[in-house]
Amino acid sequence: MMISTRGRYALRILIDLAEHRSEGYITLKEAADRQEISEKYLESIVKDLVKGRYIEGLRGKGGGYRLARDPDEINVLDILRHTEGPLVPVACLEEGGRPCPRAAACRTLPLWEGLDRVVCEYLGGFTVQDLMRREGEGFDYII
């Protein structure tokens, strides 16, 4: 599985908006400059995130974009599924897909189901709030 720039940039813009929440609406240019992402490319990603109701936009003077939810309510797995589509390792596990006629006898199916479960549990365990932490923050273990 390889996550495209679309999925990675979606996470970056969400983190950026979360980190600058107190500033209200953030212009696309500001976020694009900070993230060193093409404003034109970011525009298509932001439109998709607005459709998914992860962010909201305001036109006109003082407009821009902001999170539509708290950062701890935006799950990484949901964002990647929204921007990338299904993240399943094999087509036969795709939701709503055609059932495989060999599923009952498939010796690799448990392997792919396990991989899918691990990926979903791992990515589903992170929120935008988690990604806002700098390396080492909140991970101190004191006895």
Cα–Cα dist 86/7, whole Å: 12
Could you give the domains of the chain?
Answer: 1-143 (1.10.10.10)
pLDDT value for 76: 98
**Element (H or E) spanning 90, and its range?**
none
List the beta strands (DSSP E) in the chain. Answer: 55-58, 64-67
Q: Are 77 and 124 in contact (CB under 8 A)?
A: yes
pTM: 0.87
Cα–Cα dist 17/97, whole Å: 35
Q: pLDDT band for position 135 (50/70/90)?
A: low
Lowest mean pLDDT among 31-45, 109-123, 125-139: 125-139
Instruction: State pLDDT tens for residues 52-98.
Output: 999 999 998 889 999 999 999 999 999 999 999 999 999 889 988 88
Q: pLDDT band for position 133 (50/70/90)?
A: confident
